[in-house]
Structure 1
Amino acid sequence: MKKFITAAVCAVAALCICAQAAQPAPTQAFYAADYADVLSAETEQYIVDYSNALYDATTAQVVVATVPDMEGAEIREYGLSLARDWKIGSESDNGVLILLALSERQVSIEVGYGLEGALNDSKTGRFIDEYAMADLKKGDYDAGLLNLYKAVLQEVYQEYGLAMPEGVEPVQTGESDSGSTDIGSMIGAFITILVIAFLILGTSHRGGRGGRGGGSNDGTGGVGPFLGGMFLGGMGRGGRFGSGGGFGGGGFGGGGSFGGGGSFGGGGSSRGF
């Protein structure tokens, strides 16, 4: 029995070692790890240079990694494990990993706790959809990942209240938010005008008729107040139209890792292409 237990423990240990070996080690440059060989030398150098500049300015770290396959692993688990093993981010848990799995045709963004306020799940998913998906589907992984990296980089700089470095062409990460907000503002203005018109119409009918009960007999007297209460109340409850995730500092905690503490991992999103 003792020999059986010893053999089982050794087998489990061997499996753990194999599982760890399946994940690549960080490169010497750290910020660009192109194990799937899909990035140009120019893009790799761009990522390394500007991630170094970001770290110097904020201590935040943004890493781009590509792997040929994940050997059956799920991309969020694989990315989270990779980010933890590589210790991306500083003591403020302010790291981001952009991961592409070539064989599985999947991409993900893993976000450390310290940046979850700025890069919530909804926003990271939208970034992938807007800035990477079209190029990834065409097989232009270099362009898709570079554009996605720029979007994340700009968001992190904004979170720290800093301007992007010179030489970086900003990605308009707020296009969808601002566009939906503009549409919402137009709808809100139209509803307000409509409500005011009904209110004026209802008031004029009540003032012009002194019949019993002081109301209007044409059925419009109650419409204005009803619509006014309904729409104005709805606007008060609804708040903004189509607003994106708000920026927040996130709760900074020690640890210098993505997960740290139980079964909770960092935020983020993934997509298949």
Structure 2
Amino acid sequence: MNRLSLTTLLFLTLLSPLAARADIQLPMLSGRVVDQAQRLKAEERFQLTELIQQYERRSGHRLVVATVPKLQGVTIEEYAQQLIHNWKLGKKGKDNGVLFLIAPNDRKIRIEVGYGLESALTEALAANIIYSKVLPEFRRGDFSGGINAGVQSIIAATKNEYVAEPLETREEQRIALLVGLFLLLIMLHLFISAALGSPIQGRLFKRGRYGGYYGTGGFGGSLSSGDPAGRFSGGGGGFGGGGASGGW
């Protein structure tokens, strides 16, 4: 394959997620609990909101729980990236936001972590929360219990108080396989970029972390959204692909 063909292939690979973005309808950031899939009762949403508000007042971090009825043909990782690109949770400069995303009809979960919290809420801890705290409740049909367990565990992890539980051997193998595949894709990107002498390689990393699906090195900036009075907004935090995903 000649240099032109490789360049065309790489360009189409990077362009395809961007083309998909325009076709996906994203919910507005209307509060700390955005239950678009309607899996929570009004009282449960209120209790979750109160819990997260107390956490925000004490820590200054921003946590949002979002449920969506369907992923509209993209992966849970791609959907989460598009949400945080629009919502930008956390304070600008501190990047201390967390998105807890659930797509019940697709049976997928994602915990997306801002740059500033990646040292506390690591990928390994996020995966442990999903597989040991959230999924067991979901498999029993208790969505409220699973979401509450996930929120409580995320809060504990960002305070360095979460104690990881041993995972089942099958789940550990699955996580190891996903991590290995992710690292392989990173190396493949770097190899192609180096072979082409492309400036893309320099943009794939920000602060030494992989920069997400669109080759931008993460998302930042400010955005105000939510209710018409502007009482709730994302805050302008940045994300770089940290976190974990799971399914049941």
Q: Same fold per TM (> 0.5)?
A: yes
Q: Deviations over 1:203-238 (max 9, x none)?
A: xxxxxxxxxxxxxxxxxxxxxxxxxxxxxxxxxxxx
> Does the residue aligned with 2:109 lie in a helix, a strand or coil?
strand
**Does structure 1 residue 270 correspond to structure 2 residue 236?**
no
> Does the residue aligned with 2:37 lie in a helix, a strand or coil?
coil
Q: Which residue of 2 aligns with 1:243?
A: none
Normalized against structure 1, the TM-score is what? 0.55
- Aligned pairs for 1:1-273 within 5 A: 18-20=22-24, 22-27=25-30, 30-91=31-92, 92-156=94-158, 158-159=159-160, 173-174=162-163, 176=165, 255=221, 256-259=236-239, 265-273=240-248
Distance in 2, matches of 1:155 and 1:47, equals 17
Is the contact between residue 39 and residue 144 of structure 2 (CA under 8 Å) also seen in structure 1? yes
Q: Cα distance, 1:18 vs. partner?
A: 4.6
Q: 1:122 to 1:53 in 2, by over 3 A?
A: same
Q: Which moved more, 1:88-97 or 1:39-48?
A: 39-48
Is the contact between residue 128 and residue 164 of structure 2 (CA under 8 Å) also seen in structure 1? no
Q: Deviations over 1:33-62 (max 9, x none)?
A: 001111122321122112222222222011
> Does the residue aligned with 1:19 lie in a helix, a strand or coil?
coil
> What is the aligned residue count?
165
The structure that has the greater radius of gyration is 1
> Does the residue aligned with 2:165 lie in a helix, a strand or coil?
helix
Q: Which residue of 1 aligns with 2:189?
A: none
Listed as ranges, the gaps of 5+ residues in structure 1 are 1-14, 160-171, 178-250, 260-264
Q: Cα distance, 1:173 vs. partner?
A: 3.3
Is the contact between residue 80 and residue 258 of structure 1 (CA under 8 Å) also seen in structure 2? no
Q: Kindly, what percent of the aligned residue pairs are identical?
A: 31
Q: Deviations over 1:131-158 (max 9, x none)?
A: 11111122221111111111111222x2
Q: 1:116 to 1:175 in 2, by over 3 A?
A: closer
Q: Deviations over 1:218-261 (max 9, x none)?
A: xxxxxxxxxxxxxxxxxxxxxxxxxxxxxxxxx9xx843333xx
Distance in 1, matches of 2:117 and 2:22, equals 32
Distance in 2, matches of 1:17 and 1:130, equals 32
Question: Which consecutive aligned stretches of 4+ in structure 1 deviate over 6 angstroms post-superposition?
Answer: none
Listed as ranges, the gaps of 5+ residues in structure 2 are 1-18, 167-208, 210-219, 222-235
Q: Cα distance, 1:100 vs. partner?
A: 0.5
- 2:81 maps to amino acid: L
> Does the residue aligned with 2:102 lie in a helix, a strand or coil?
strand
Q: Cα distance, 1:24 vs. partner?
A: 1.1
Q: Which residue of 2 aligns with 1:219?
A: none
> Does the residue aligned with 1:176 lie in a helix, a strand or coil?
coil
